[in-house]
């Protein structure tokens, strides 16, 4: 497994600014934690389910090639590998929302 931290500098309230991801040997995402500026945190994959929210394509070998889904948006985006220990610390502390993002609206 490999782990990464992506930081996205922007002002959008409905997009995460920090993303912690776990990827398998094929560089496919298996778990992710997202942090939003309004204090909300979401986690996907593993025992938390909702694997459909995970990135479907493998991460690029060179993380400098990684861009957010909204590639035309403004702001700086960077990604770097992190230690397993840091990922697990974030994963274990993340607040679980089993109903996902849309649960905020119902």
Q: What percent of the chain has pLDDT over 70?
A: 80
pLDDT score at 102: 45
> For residue range 66-92, what is the model confidence (pLDDT) as tens digits?
766 555 556 678 889 999 999 999 998
* Six token digits for residue 2: 């490999």
**Cα(59)–Cα(74) distance, rounded to whole angstroms?**
21
| DSSP structural state of residue 96 | P
Q: pLDDT averaged over the chain? A: 81
**Cα(44)–Cα(33) distance, rounded to whole angstroms?**
7
**Cα(97)–Cα(59) distance, rounded to whole angstroms?**
25
- What is the residue extent of each domain of the chain? 2-100
**Cα(84)–Cα(70) distance, rounded to whole angstroms?**
28
pLDDT score at 53: 86
State how far the alpha carbon of 21 is from the alpha carbons of 42, 68, 72, 104, 105, in Å: 12, 13, 22, 23, 26
pLDDT score at 106: 41
pLDDT over threshold 70, residue 56: yes
């Amino acid at each position: 497994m490999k782990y990464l931290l992506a930081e996205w500098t922007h002002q959008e309230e409905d997009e995460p600014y920090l993303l912690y991801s776990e990827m398998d040997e094929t560089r496919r995402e298996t778990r992710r934690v997202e942090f939003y500026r309004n204090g909300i945190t979401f986690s996907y994959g593993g025992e938390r389910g909702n694997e459909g929210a995970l990135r479907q394509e493998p991460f690029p070998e060179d993380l400098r090639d990684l861009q957010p889904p909204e590639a035309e948006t403004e702001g700086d985006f960077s990604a770097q590998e992190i230690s397993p220990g840091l990922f697990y610390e974030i994963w274990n502390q993340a607040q679980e929302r089993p109903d996902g993002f849309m649960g905020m609206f119902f």
